[in-house]
A and B are shown apart, each in its own frame.
Chain A
């Protein structure tokens, strides 16, 4: 009886442990953006940079900065840092207004993530 009870407790322990959020161990997500999401910058940035919490694959990294009319303001191809944790792209002279940054990356664990955020350039910035 005692051993049977130990088995039940063991099963319960496995349940609790395995239920713990392994959910957070996966994929690359932005940790920091420059300019940051929702920020209103006084002077236009020369590049947009996103730092990720896990390394990404350069081959599949995408980053574009769209103005209000939807035109991509990025200049050249997106760059990935040597450690794979930073994605950046140069941008042209941004006029005052709202911009949407769209990113899509593949983590080195092969999983795909994507997202977008906005920032704005204040009047008199350019």
Chain B
């Protein structure tokens, strides 16, 4: 059987990234939008990500169904119609596959820039909502699903802002003034996103049994969680260094190069954080 994270990681990562970069394109200042959104860079990114979502979604559904039936891909194919009809996940995934197709159409069919960006943002947000509906949160009801969704949105905005900054700086041949303005905006979005992640994380924690620190080291789940949180904390620290040490010195080319390199490292680390999240979502919790 193929491990669940193999399909889940690119799928979740693509959904979060396409939402975040589209949202940044809508809220970024005009000059930042011109750099980060105009041209072929983001449009190409969205097309590739939408294609990944479209191709991986059916495979992810098959892997989920195989996991539910405790069988292989080949064995589960004949029962897929029954899974789609008779299970909660199957019914949600019917909508999810349709939404993935819609996202691909929005990304690939030429449309006026801002309308296309807004469409991609809304459709990818719908995918995140559907992801929340089929997550662990569904066990706890509507409020938990809403919190899970908010958590994903916050993560998407954070990652999307950083990736947009990287695209703008790399492909937009940004000058120091643009970098300073864009970094300031990205910092603001990152700050609010991290705050939202803390709040939604706190609510999810409150919803759980309470503090059981021993499980953090005595279970695979706990240890994976520590790795995830450690990686996220490293991103926050790098972001803080960028904001308070490098932005003030962007007139120097070495500071600009350092900033771009650090943002690239942050993006890579956040991809790792998504990977840890996917592993956690597929690890039985110590109950």
A-side residues, CB < 8 A to B, are 3-4, 7-8, 10-15, 17-29, 53-55, 57-60, 104, 106-113
Question: In angstroms, how far is the closest chain B Cβ from the Cβ of A92?
Answer: 27
- Provide the main secondary structure of the chain B interface: helix
Query: In this assembly, does B210 line the interface, its C-beta being within 8 Å of a C-beta of chain A?
Result: yes
New contact pairs (4) apart from A10-B194, A20-B205, A107-B139, CB-CB < 8 Å: A21-B285, A22-B201, A22-B285, A109-B89
7 contacts between A and B (CB under 8 A): A14-B194, A22-B285, A27-B139, A54-B139, A54-B140, A60-B68, A112-B68
Q: Scan residues 36-88 of chain B and give those whose CB is less than 8 A from a CB of chain A.
A: 64, 67-70, 82-83, 86-88
B-side residues, CB < 8 A to A, are 64, 67-70, 82-83, 86-89, 134-140, 144, 194, 197-198, 201-202, 204-205, 207-213, 215-216, 219, 221-222, 225-226, 228-230, 232-233, 236-237, 239-240, 243-244, 280, 284-287
User: Within 8 Å CB of A8, what residues of B?
Assistant: 237, 240
Find out whether the CB atom of A28 lies under 8 angstroms from the CB atom of B139. Answer: yes
Question: In angstroms, how far is the closest chain A Cβ from the Cβ of B186?
Answer: 15
User: Within 8 Å CB of A106, what residues of B?
Assistant: 68, 87
CB nearest neighbor in B for A84: B88
The 8 A-B residue pairs whose C-beta atoms are closest, nearest first, are A20-B205, A7-B240, A54-B139, A26-B136, A23-B285, A11-B233, A24-B208, A17-B201
Find out whether the CB atom of B225 lies under 8 angstroms from the CB atom of A22. Answer: yes
A58–B85 Cα distance when bound, in Å, is: 12
A44–B87 Cα distance when bound, in Å, is: 34
Question: In angstroms, how far is the closest chain B Cβ from the Cβ of A112?
Answer: 6
